[in-house]
Amino acid sequence: MKLPKIYFIPGMGANKDLFVNQRTAGFEMEVLEWITPYAQESIEDYSGRLSEGINTNEEFILAGVSFGGIIAVEIAKKLPPQKTILISSVPTYQEYPLLLKLFSRLPLYKMTPKSAHSNAIVQKFILYSMGLQTDQGKEIFLDMLKHSDIQFIQWAIHALIKWRNTVLPSSLVRIHGEIDRVFPIRKIKNAYCIPGGHSIILEDAENVNNILRSVIENTPLKDCTETLLSKNSIDF
């Protein structure tokens, strides 16, 4: 039986290189690359345009990382994925961290200079926030940051602030790092928890891929680390 194709959506400021460790995992996969947003375009409208790259004539799975997970949630409202997988992400605005709420009152992100990605202090802050520890992970992420579009990032933050979704996708699967500094675990519900940070897609790809493979194949999770599959059901 043919297994469903998995469409990956990267995080804000990231690109297809984020999934370097999934390309060798045996998945039939495709990365939905970012398209240029329109001025003041909503996440709902943007996700509709991005979803045009999906072949709906065959079964498929959506898998979004961070901001890409939020886009996946909106695509899942419009198209019928077999499953929607959120990696280091949130399905509703109720799980937003304090920083995003502060941005709605004090929009400092609008003043971010185009050269910010090359600032050493900014880089250290981002690497810390992402929880990147390995040399490979840091190299990949800084290279993606170097090639990122600051206007896209500013649009994405603004669109996130305006997003007010409260509807959970059906067949939702969540994979989350226990020490995620962007979307802290204390607000996350019903996720497979991996002992890592926001960048588990890069830093703990083996465990992430084990879960992805089991989801795609509809098989029990196997050969994972002992600490991997603690179910998190923390209330708000």
Q: What digits encode the pLDDT tens for the residues 62-80?
A: 999 999 999 999 999 999 8
Domains and CATH numbers, the chain: 5-233 (3.40.50.1820)
Sequence-ordered strand ranges (E) for 24-75: 29-31, 60-65
pLDDT value of position 109:
56
Question: For residue 223, is pLDDT > 50?
Answer: no
pLDDT value of position 209:
95
Report pLDDT digits (tens) over 130-159. 999 899 999 999 999 888 888 899 899 899
Average per-residue pLDDT for the chain: 87
Average the pLDDT over 223-228 and give the result. 39
Question: For residue 204, is pLDDT > 90?
Answer: yes
